[in-house]
């Protein structure tokens, strides 16, 4: 009985009940799959300055939660940039949602994927992405409106999946602005 009591005490001895997140695509997998041809990888951390913060706010009416933004870069064997990725999070009443974005050397989006959802939002996200939402972001260039991707989906989604699609478009838009404002040049 003492042993059972101890085990149960250890098992129960905690509080706090967060809504569990669900990793749909691991960051490392997203980077590896998106930066095709890369043999070397780099992480670029940009600490946002006042000028760029003003530019971000002007372009997108949002303030990044974290003053440090990470870009993950890939280089080919001969040192040429094959692109870069970043992960943009948006918070929802149902838990955080994260979108991975990959950009080609020309700045156009080459891949977009929801990398993290929550137990609650996962089925709604999967319904939205299953309807082909993410492919609609591919090819967008800095300055393009990601909400245009939603226009072609009217009638295909309703309720919570449609809400998730709007949040995903918001994350894509914010990621585009961060890329456009903060990402400069190649890895070296």
Partner 1 sequence: MELYSLREANRSVKLGAMLFLLVLGYAYLFAFLMVKTWSGLTPERVQATYVPAPGMNEMEMPAESRATTQPLDLGKVPEMKHTVDTELLIQDSHIHIMIYAIVAALLCLIILGLGWPPWWRDTMIVAAFATGALDFAGQWLMKLGIGGFAWLTILSGWGMSLVYLIVLYSTARAVVPRLARSAS
Residues at the interface with partner 1 (CB under 8 A)? 1, 5, 8-9, 11-21, 23, 26-28, 31-32, 40-53, 63-67, 72-73, 87, 89, 91-96, 98, 115-116, 182, 184, 187-188
Which of 81-85's residues contact partners 24+ apart within 8 Å by CB, and which partners?
81/105, 81/186, 81/187, 82/35, 82/36, 82/37, 82/38, 83/34, 83/35, 83/38, 83/110, 84/35, 84/44, 84/179, 84/183, 85/30, 85/31, 85/34, 85/35
Give 23 or 130: the residue with its C-beta nearer to partner 1.
23
User: From the CB of 142, what's the least distance to partner 1, in Å?
Assistant: 16
Q: Which residues of 158-176 are buried (b: 16+ CB within 10 A; e: fewer)?
A: eebbbbbbebbbbbbbbbb
Q: Are 110 and 83 in contact (CB under 8 A)?
A: yes
Q: At its nearest, how many Å lie between partner 1 and the CB of residue 117?
A: 10
Q: How far is the CB of 148 from partner 1 (least distance, A)?
A: 27
Q: How far is the CB of 173 from partner 1 (least distance, A)?
A: 19
Closest approach of partner 1 to the CB of residue 180, in Å: 13
Longest dimension (CA), the chain: 67
Q: Nearer to partner 1 by C-beta: 90 or 136? A: 90
Nearer to partner 1, 136 or 178 (CB): 178
User: Which of 20/132 has CB closer to partner 1?
Assistant: 20
Nearer to partner 1, 12 or 154 (CB): 12
């Amino acid at each position: 009985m003492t042993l059972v009591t101890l085990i149960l005490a250890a098992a129960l001895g905690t509080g706090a009940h967060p809504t569990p997140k669900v990793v749909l695509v691991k960051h490392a997998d997203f980077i590896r799959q998106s930066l095709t041809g890369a043999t070397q990888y780099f992480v670029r951390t940009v600490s946002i300055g006042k000028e760029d913060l003003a530019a971000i706010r002007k372009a997108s009416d949002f303030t990044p939660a974290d003053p440090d933004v990470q870009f993950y870069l890939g280089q080919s064997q001969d040192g040429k940039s094959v692109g870069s990725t970043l992960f943009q999070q948006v918070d929802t009443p149902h838990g955080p949602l994260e979108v991975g974005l990959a950009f080609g050397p020309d700045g156009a989006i080459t891949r977009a994927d929801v990398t993290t959802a929550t137990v609650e939002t996962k089925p709604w996200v999967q319904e939205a992405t299953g309807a082909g939402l993410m492919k609609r972001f591919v090819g967008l260039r800095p300055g393009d409106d990601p909400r245009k991707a939603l226009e072609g989906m009217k009638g295909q989604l309703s309720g919570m999946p449609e809400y998730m699609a709007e949040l995903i478009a918001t994350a894509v838009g914010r990621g585009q602005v961060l890329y456009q404002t903060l990402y400069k040049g190649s890895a070296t």
